[in-house]
Chains A and B, each alone.
Chain A
Amino acid sequence: MEGSPGTSMHGVTGREPVLAFSVASPMVPTDKTAHFDLPVDSEHKAKKFKLFSLANPHMRTFHLSWISFFTCFVSTFAAAPLVPIIRDNLNLTKGDIGNAGVASVSGSIFSRLVMGAVCDLLGPRYGCAFLVMMTAPTVFCMSFVSSAGGYVAVRFMIGFSLATFVSCQYWMSTMFNSQIIGLVNGTAAGWGNMGGGATQLLMPLLFEIIKSAGATPFTAWRIAFFIPGWLHIIMGLLVLTLGQDLPDGNLSTLQKKGEVAKDKFGKVLWYAVTNYRTWIFVLLYGYSMGVELSTDNVIAEYFYDRFDLKLHTAGVIAATFGMANLLARPFGGFASDYMARHFGMRGRLWTLWTLQTMGGVFCILLGRATSLPVAIAHMIIFSIGAQAACGATFGVVPFISRRSLGIISGLTGAGGNFGSGLTQLLFFTNAKHSTGTGLSYMGIMIVACTLPVAAIHFPQWGSMFFPPSKGVVEEHYYIKEYTEDEREKNMHLGNIKFAENSRSERGGNRVVSEATPPHA
Chain B
Amino acid sequence: MFLLIFCRLHTRYHELAPNLVPMDYTNDPDCKVPIQLIINMPELMENPFKERIVESFSEAGDGNLSFNDFVDMFSVLSEMAPRELKAIYAFKIYDFNTDNFICKSDLEQTLNKLTREELTPEEVNLVCEKVIEEADLDGDGKLAFADFENMISRAPDFLR
Asked whether A and B interact, the reply is: no
